[in-house]
């Protein structure tokens, strides 16, 4: 595990930002299996902004817990931009939080293909803007990480936290 002081700092900064903005976050993880949630809740006081985490590893779990569409799973596969977006939106909306974050990918060492190699990860972030503002959005980032299973999972968790931080920057920039 390459959990570093820098990543600890990111989690603390996120906690401060969410608390200051009076916003909440829920996370749904596939390949990271709870690592993002663990890192967010390592910060003292995280109960002020962290609502819940869901590990939705199977397609059935994605369908049942998050209402990810069967069409997206069939047409694009669980490791796809569309499924990452639906996962982030689904956890945001079912938890009724400001933010939803998702991770889906192939941690390896097997399971990769030419189209979807080991290390391919999609990170989704969904924002719930105030009603009537039409400011809600979902964004997805695609990554391909090198390393063994643990390294891919760790890099994916860091990417998810960074994506949330970047999205908060985006929203904060619009409101200032």
Q: Which of 41, 161, 145 minimizes the C-alpha distance to 101?
A: 161
Domains with residue ranges and CATH for the chain? 5-175 (3.90.950.20)
In a 3-state reduction of DSSP, which class is residue 47?
helix
Looking up tokens 């002081």 gives 5
pLDDT average, residue stretch 37-66: 96
pLDDT computed for residue 1 by the predictor: 43
pLDDT above 50 for 176: no
Give the phi and the psi of residue 111 in degrees, each rounded to 5: 105, -10
Residues, the chain: 176
73, 63 Cβ separation under 8 angstroms? yes
pLDDT above 90 for 46: yes
| pLDDT tens digits for range 92-148 | 999 999 999 999 999 999 999 999 999 999 999 999 999 999 999 999 999 999 999
pLDDT average, residue stretch 12-39: 97
| pLDDT tens digits for range 149-160 | 999 999 999 999
Q: What is the mean pLDDT of the chain?
A: 94
Q: Which of 64, 159, 61, 169 minimizes the C-alpha distance to 103?
A: 159
pLDDT computed for residue 36 by the predictor: 98
Which pTM value belongs to this model? 0.93
119, 152 Cβ separation under 8 angstroms? yes
């Amino acid at each position: 595990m390459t959990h570093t002081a820098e990543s600890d700092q990111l989690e603390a900064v996120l906690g401060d930002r969410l608390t200051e903005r009076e916003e909440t976050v829920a996370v749904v993880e596939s390949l990271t299996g709870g690592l993002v949630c663990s890192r967010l809740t390592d910060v003292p006081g995280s109960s002020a902004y962290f609502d819940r985490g869901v590990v939705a590893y199977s397609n059935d779990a994605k369908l049942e817990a998050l209402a990810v569409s069967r069409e997206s799973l069939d047409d694009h596969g669980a490791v796809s931009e569309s499924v990452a977006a639906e996962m982030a939106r689904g956890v945001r909306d079912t938890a009724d939080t400001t933010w939803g974050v998702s991770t889906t990918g192939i941690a390896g060492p097997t399971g990769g293909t030419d189209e979807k190699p080991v290390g391919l990860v999609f990170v989704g972030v969904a924002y719930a803007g105030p009603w009537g503002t039409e400011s809600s959005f979902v964004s997805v980032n695609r990554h391909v990480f090198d390393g063994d299973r643990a390294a891919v999972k760790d890099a994916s968790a860091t990417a998810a936290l960074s994506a949330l931080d970047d999205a908060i920057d985006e929203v904060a920039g619009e409101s200032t």
